[in-house]
Structure 1
Amino acid sequence: MSAALAPKTARPRKPAAPLVDQPAARAENGDAKLQAAAKRERAEADRERLFDSFNSRHLWSRISWPVLIWITAMHVGAVAAFFFVTWEAIAVAVALHWLTLSIGICLGYHRFLSHKSMKLRTPAEFFVLLCGVLSGEGSPLTWAATHRLHHHRSDQPGDPHSPHTDHDDGWWAHLYWLFLDRSPRDQELLYEKYVPELKDRPMLRFFEKTYGLWMVLPGVALYAVGGMPMLLWGLCARMTYAYHSTWFVNSATHLWGYRNYETRDESKNLWWVAVVSYGEGWHNNHHAHPSNARAGHKWYELDPTFWVIKALKATGIAYDVKDKIPAPAQP
């Protein structure tokens, strides 16, 4: 039989597409859009609430009395220390100043935790973060989240400690911003927005829960070892000098100095702040290249904290260190 005379077989029909309830589908799409819009509105409201929680206009109506009392006590103790002078107490204060500020704050809280400039083996990570806790400058999560917010909103509304926003007040940037009380909800928003990958880490939660103990125990230990001179120099004077060394980075380096790089903020390099803060005063360099483990980018911009990082890298304690010299700074 020829192909032309062969009986044709019926092609199987495709199953009919299910009927779509068009009004229901439109309603579902409408609900999804409304939910997305509501989510955006909540995110925007949370963002504005977070920025507003650092606004200087709230200061005198929302004072954090524990912070104010603690910092005042440290300053009073620093003055009293001059009436209880021993060389041993001064030596301990100098050693603890370096350990808590350079290792704890500059290396641990700042370059390691906030900017991920390197990775550290677990024992070293615990040690440098403990040194940061002993500085009395806040828990690791609070410090890192606040600093990341500073970079996000540097010298714009929402910057926690800019001398160029709100009241254009250098004292606000240097000191007063610390006295502003913030609610637990504001604190949680800060963590969710700026340290989401850190906030549930067991080591950081441990320091968050035990932070108050680390403020008291060193004072007890210092007094037991060396009496009033050791307490006043090793705790009060050491903390006070370290506080101002850090605060000058927030205030002075956004007011005075020179710039190697064009950035969207007013960050500057200031040599004397670099001296008292173990290299952190090369602040314009840092804002231009925040994840770089080097703060000093020119041969004369000395950076003692980076010298420690180099030693840790050489011994394998620090690894994946981001220390490549960035694009040449302006002459």
Structure 2
Amino acid sequence: MPILIFFILHWYLSLFAQTFFLHRYAAHQMFTMNKFWEKVFYVLTAIFQGSSYLSPKAYGIMHRLHHAYADTEKDPHSPKYSDNLFDMMWKTKTTYCDILHDKVSIAPKFMKGVPDWPAMDRFADRWLVRVLWGVLYTLFYMQYATAWWMYLLLPIHFLMGPVHGAIINWFAHKFGYVNFKVNDTAKNLLPLDLLMLGESYHNNHHKFGGRANFGVRWFEFDPTYPLILLFNLVGIVKLKKNNDLNYM
């Protein structure tokens, strides 16, 4: 039971950091927050993602490139231009690292307003820090695992962020249903998205890229959106106007 609880907590906390802070805030700026809360969520992202920490700046820029060039040769992660899932994720890693370490020239429009805390990125991105997180995960399993097969979950812990990205960037461009005609292959992977906290409503998101609520139809519940509304209510974030509109 402790292993299952730990895995579920890590899955959803890491996913929340990615969808709330990296995706909806860093990449799309669907809401604003002051510098204090920005640093709070920076730290929480480093803790929740642990060994698979993704820089908000590099993620934000890369995701903007994905929307600008979806399913073209310039897309950082398109199944259309990859032989398989692992090929796509390797290309994604290469693009992400090039952006993180300033090895490529990025147009200013893709960099505007992305959160940037270089000291935190340097610390959380160190291999020693990533390995230490992996050691902590392993020690927890050594303490509480009751069967050998539980250890098969450890690689997912090590690569939690990329695993979440792979599910959406590969499968949500290949399988699912479509609410809106868009200029790419984005689909809604799950009709009720309790697994990916709303991220699987990929077709909706590609149609309304600035909308904080990824669900559109009556049955499409986005679990992250009520949290955003709560944060907006208590003053942690400020939703931009018309971000709570229903389209269908």
Q: Which TM-score tier does this pair reach, normalised by the shorter chain?
A: 0.7 to 0.9
Q: Decide whether the 8 Å contact of 2:54 with 2:161 is kept in 1.
A: no
Task: Pick closer, same or farther for the CA change 1:90–1:198 going to 2, 3 Å.
Answer: same
The counterpart of 1:218, out of the listed 110, 126, 133, is 133
Deviation at 1:173, TM superposition (A): 6.8
Of 69, 79, 82, which residue of structure 2 is paired with 1:153?
A: 69
Which secondary structure state, in structure 1, belongs to the residue aligned with residue 106 of structure 2? Answer: helix
Give the letter for the 2:56 counterpart: P
| 3-state secondary structure, aligned to 2:198 | coil
Give, as a single letter, the amino acid of the residue that structure 2 aligns with 1:111. Answer: R
Other-structure match for 2:37: 124
Unaligned regions of 5+ residues in structure 2, if any? 146-150
- Provide the residue aligned with 2:193 in structure 1: 274
User: How big is the alpha-carbon RMSD for the aligned residues of Structure 1 and Structure 2?
Assistant: 3.1
Question: Out of 173, 189, 199, which is 2:105 matched to?
Answer: 189
Q: 1:267 to 1:215 in 2, by over 3 A?
A: same
Aligned-pair CA distance for 1:276:
2.5
Q: How does 1:153-172 map to 2 (within 5 A)?
A: 153-164=69-80, 166-167=81-82, 169-171=83-85
Q: What is the percentage of aligned positions where both structures have the same residue?
A: 24
> Which whole-Å CA distance do the structure 2 matches of 1:309 and 1:98 have between them?
15
Q: 1:198 to 1:111 in 2, by over 3 A?
A: closer
Pairing partner for 2:23 from 110, 122, 127: 110
Q: Judging changes above 3 Å, is the alpha-carbon distance between structure 1 residues 239 and 289 closer, same or farther for their aligned structure 2 residues? A: farther
User: How far apart are 1:315 and its partner, in Å?
Assistant: 1.5
Equivalent pair of 1:267/1:284 in contact (CA under 8 Å) = yes
Query: Which of 51, 55, 68 is 1:139 aligned to?
Result: 55
Number of equivalenced pairs: 235
Aligned twin of 2:167: 248
Q: How far is the alpha carbon of 1:233 from its aligned partner?
A: 8.8
**Mapped pair 1:209 → 2:115:** no
Q: Deviations over 1:214-257 (max 9, x none)?
A: 52443455567x46357969964434455333211101111122
* CA distance in 1 between partners of 2:153 and 2:33 (Å): 28
Distance 2:197 2:57 in 1: 22
Residue 309 of structure 1: aligned partner: 228
With normalisation by structure 2, the TM-score equals 0.79
Normalization by structure 1: what TM-score? 0.61
- Long gaps (5+) in structure 1: 1-86
